[in-house]
Structure 1
């Protein structure tokens, strides 16, 4: 396998891989894997990577409680419409990855 440093879809491929890992973490309910995803995401941001709206998949949804790797579901007063995730989940993930807020449980090191 060859790695091309100037791959034009590098960021897209990175986040696609992160979504696949998040799906695996959800299947196995592996908190250590969730924490690793966040560490990798923070490392990518520190290296100049860009956040994508789907980064909310890496944390539990504060609205519908969908776990990392799972899509959100409609709940009263919080319809999804055409989105995969609740906006609150995406916003929380972006803030957590930038270390503006602490990670939510179970990812927070107590």
Structure 2
């Protein structure tokens, strides 16, 4: 199987696969699996793969408490409009995956 890394959707497909694994880690309460995908994500970033906004799916939302792999829900004073994730969750993910802040516990 040949993978074309120059395919226009390659980055999004990579993160989509990572989100699917994060959802499975949450579903099965598997901290080791979750830590493994975080390592893969950090390695991808180190090699130049861009972080997409939907990478917030890896963490629990600090606004509505949606779990890893779940979409956010509307809460008072924090509407979603067209977004699947609250901006605070996206920002938290960018900082955590890049190593700027400690990674919050994903599964509890």
Report the TM-score, using the length of structure 1 for normalisation: 0.87
Does the CA-based 8 Å contact 2:96-2:103 persist in structure 1? yes
Count of equivalent residues: 107
Secondary structure, in 3 states, of the residue corresponding to 2:34?
helix
Q: Distance in 1 between matches of 2:5 and 2:105?
A: 36
Q: Give the CA deviation at 1:20.
A: 1.4
Ranges in structure 2 where 5+ consecutive residues have no aligned partner: none
Provide runs of 4+ in structure 1 moved above 4 Å: none
CA deviation profile, 1:51-76 (whole Å, cap 9, x unmatched): 00000000111111111101111111
Q: Distance in 2 between matches of 1:5 and 1:80?
A: 32
Is it true that 1:95 corresponds to 2:103 in the alignment? no
**C-alpha root-mean-square deviation of aligned residues, in Å?**
1.6
Q: Give the CA deviation at 1:13.
A: 1.7
Does the CA-based 8 Å contact 2:56-2:93 persist in structure 1? yes
Cross-structure match for 1:84:
84
Secondary structure, in 3 states, of the residue corresponding to 1:92?
helix
Ranges in structure 1 where 5+ consecutive residues have no aligned partner: none
